Amino acid sequence: MSVFESTVTVSKPAAQVYAFLADMNNHRQLMPDNITDWTSTTDVASFTIPNITKLSLQIDERVDNGLVRIIPAEKPPFDMELKWELSETDGATKATFTITADLNMMMKMLASGPLQKLADGETTNLVSILS
């Protein structure tokens, strides 16, 4: 398994960060600009990454103010999990976004850079939106 992780501090309480992340409708704002065909509900989001693939993701687990775990709703090109872990200290929230992907060597060479960029971009966007 390959792991891509990014951590940021958001100057909001964990409850507010969690409320934003627990709704898949909000995740469009975290995604890169090149994402197309976005459709979502509170629990599921489907979208296209141009020239790569179409994905459908669903929230698999919610732990109030602490965790949002997202898994594929349909068979993806490779097994993956996206996880937001939150911890609050002095009114600010540390948010860690982790992408875990089962990549073969060829996919790892091709996808490692874009997946790390995605992890970093989502956390950066989260800070921008909630600050």
User: 11 pLDDT exceeds 90?
Assistant: yes
Please say whether the beta carbons of 32 and 44 come within 8 A: no
Question: In angstroms, what is the C-alpha Rg of the chain?
Answer: 14
Percent of the chain with pLDDT over 90: 87
- The whole model's pTM is what? 0.93
| Average pLDDT of span 62-80 | 93
| Highest CATH level, class, for 2-130 | alpha beta
Q: How confident is the model at residue 71 (pLDDT cuts 50, 70, 90)?
A: very high
Residue ranges per structural domain of the chain: 2-130
What are 20-49's pLDDT values in tens digits? 999 999 999 999 999 999 999 999 999 998
